Structure 1
Amino acid sequence: METKPNQLIFHSMASRWNTLAIDIDIARSLGFDGLESSGAKIAAFLDAGFSKTDLRDRLADLCVPGIGFLIDLERQGKRRGDMLREAEELCQLAVSAGARGIEAITGPLDLRAFEPGAARCYPQLYRGLIDLPEEEQTTLTAANLGAVADIAADHGLIVYLEALSWTPLNSMDAQLRVIDRCGRDNVRLVVDFWHAYTAGDTPDRIARLDKNLIYGVHLCDSLPYLGGIPNEAALRDVPTGSGTLDLKSWVDAVKATGYTGWWSCELFCRRQHQDNSYAVARDLKILMERLILDQPDSSQMKNEGTNT
């Protein structure tokens, strides 16, 4: 099915504590093109007694490019089996929602795993592949990504990779090596401005990506990052557009590749999570329209009209 270019997608993380039903209403009532939700919210909707038909009916006129997320993609041993079962479950939820793909992210998620002496101080803490050489990390992660992609392919889905910036293989170059070694046609990349910034990538690097590898974009902001292990909870606690990132330069870098796909407004600002979600989403959409679609700020136009 043909879709219009540069779709503006509401991200469920911008309405973190609301239900799927509220996220859907926000997206539809404010004129977003679609919704990028989470497997957790979709599962909660179904577990509450709503049917898959109810789910599809609620989402009927919205694009659902993907749902998140499969964590700790690189898991090995028994944990690898758990990861593959979770991938199958997430794919089933994606199909139920009419989504086109699933998001896979790298780990470990817990920042304590990267502290000096962490293996001794936290012996039960999941460490992923951080103790292995980069070449072995790449090989094992690519093999897991390939296995997940095969599961997704059975459901007609895309897998879009997002390497968290505090984890191994966090740069664009490292992620592209994983995707290349994976060798699956249904694997893509999501460009997240915050993860790219704190992993050391720049708009110039983004502008050199192959547009055909970019599945989606997470438009988001950051407080100043001064080095060390990026603390997501602290650094992303800022309204989008009020942080340190020159969002226009990041958007223009993506557009320089020729990419015209979907853009999603991921958000981690605690204050806004507790505010009026409709008002927050409205402001995010206005910002996205200005940055991505080159549309003027409607509220500014209204004020200018009043002053003439």
Structure 2
Amino acid sequence: MSRAMKTSIHVGCAPAADVETDIRNARAAGFDATELSIPKLERYFEQDPQAADRLPDSLGDLAVSMVDVLMPVERIARGHHHELLDAGDRWARLAQRVGCPALQVVVLNEFDVTTWREQRDIIVASLRRLADRTFPHGVRLGIEPVCFSQFSSLDQALEVIDLVGRERAGIVLDTWHLWVGETSWPEVAALDARDIVTVQIADSGPRKGDAWADDDRDELPGRGLVPLAEGIDAILRTGYAGYWSAELFGRRHAEREPAELFRDVQRHLVACLDRASRGIADGYETRTER
């Protein structure tokens, strides 16, 4: 694996671990960075109001690739703006303090309109107001199109960041959401690397219910159904040189000892990145079976 390929971890894989434990485990496992989870941070600061002052020292040389996640951001333009805007400002200030470049945001389905044009206008209005609060702190919005939402395609995301301003917002690429949403790898490879805020590497087991859900994301990187070598290869073709963050959900691993889990996730993530960087992925495929 090229040393330019920096690894990070989504700490949601260990839901019971606290912020300090996540930081220790990420460093011990060899990650270059960690994402910081807003629900964990809220618990951390509630238990100890002085914890925010210690956080930069606790992190040390461990970078923070993203603070996540603020949702559903479409509420901002629908009158629920004060709480979300204040939260955006709070987390952007924290991100600035720890040297983190991005705050992740997600659009769900809280719309009272049906056409994409109407929904787009609500999303753009919401994100512009949020970016007005976050960008002054040097923090960019990382917009993740998710398969659970009507806002789920790269085309939609590119349209939105163009209207919000590319210096203020970009895309979070999640391999699981891309695969479930049947986004083609050539479509990913055609992106401008400057539009990518960060990358989340997530694999998948079989679908357990009628619809895809977070609980299906219970495979270690490279052990599941998502053709990660092809996805990583496509992202590399954009010229992307940022963090590759491993994301793992599902009940299978939630009760594992967190330090052991972090080591296992890092080992599998590095193996996936190594295979892709060596050019083992030898083409793209069209995925039609689920």
TM-score range, shorter chain: 0.7 to 0.9
Greater mean alpha carbon deviation, residues 240-249 or residues 188-197: 240-249
- The residue type paired with residue 198 of structure 2 is G
> Residue in 2 aligned with 1:161?
143
| Distance of 2:91 and 2:148 partners within structure 1 | 24
Amino acid of the residue matched to residue 82 of structure 1? E
Displacement over 6 Å in runs of 4+: none
Q: What is the percentage of aligned positions where both structures have the same residue?
A: 27
- TM-score w.r.t. structure 1 length? 0.82
Whose RCO is larger (CA < 8 A, sep 6+)?
A: 2
Q: Which residue of 2 aligns with 1:20?
A: 19
CA–CA distance in structure 1, aligned partners of residues 207 and 162 of structure 2: 30
Residue type matched to 1:207 in 2? A
Structure 2 distance, partners of 1:223, 1:130, is 34
The yes-or-no answer on 1:291 pairing with 2:290 is no
Whichever residue aligns with residue 151 of structure 2, its letter is: L
Matched, 1:254 2:235: yes
| 1:105 corresponds to | 106
In structure 2, C-alpha distance between the alignment counterparts of 1:30 and 1:98, rounded to whole Å: 21
RMSD across aligned C-alpha pairs, in angstroms?
2.2
Aligned counterpart for 1:240 among listed residues 217, 221, 228: 221
**Residue number in structure 2 paired with 1:117:** none
Distance in 2 of aligned mates of 1:202 and 1:285: 26
**Equivalent residue of 1:66, what SS?**
strand
Q: Is the 8 Å Cα contact of residues 185 and 234 (structure 2) preserved in structure 1?
A: yes
Deviations 1:234-267 (A, max 9, x none): x223333222111111111111111111010111
Q: Which residue of 2 aligns with 1:41?
A: 40
Closer/same/farther in 2, CA of residues 65 and 174 from structure 1, 3 Å limit: same
Residues 199, 153 of structure 1: alpha-carbon distance in 2 compared, 3 angstrom cutoff: same
Pick aligned residue for 1:281 from 253, 258, 262: 262
Number of residue pairs matched by the alignment: 273
Gaps of 5+ in 2: 279-290
User: Once the 2 structures are TM-superposed, how far is the Cα of residue 65 of structure 1 from its aligned partner?
Assistant: 1.8
CA 1:11–1:231: 2 relative to 1, 3 Å = closer
One-letter amino acid of the structure 1 residue matched with residue 61 of structure 2 = D
- Counterpart Cα distance in 2 of 1:229 and 1:171: 17
> 1:200-239: per-residue Cα shift (whole Å, max 9, x none)?
2122221111111111110001234599743333x22333
Q: Which amino acid aligns with 1:286?
A: R
CA distance in 1, matches of 2:224, 2:5: 23
Of 211-220 and 130-139, more deviation after overlay is shown by 130-139
The structure with the larger Rg is 1
2:244 is aligned, of 251, 263, 270, to 263
Aligned pairs (5 A) from 1:84-103: 84-103=85-104
Report the AA paired with residue 94 of structure 1: A
Secondary structure (helix, strand or coil) at the match of 1:103 reads strand
Kindly state the Cα deviation for residue 270 of structure 1 after the two structures are TM-superposed: 1.3
| Cα distance change, pair 218–130 in 1 and its aligned pair in 2 (3 A) | farther
Normalised by the length of structure 2, the TM-score is 0.87
**How far is 1:176 from its partner?**
0.8
Residues 1:272 and 2:271 aligned together: no
SS of 2:74's partner is: coil
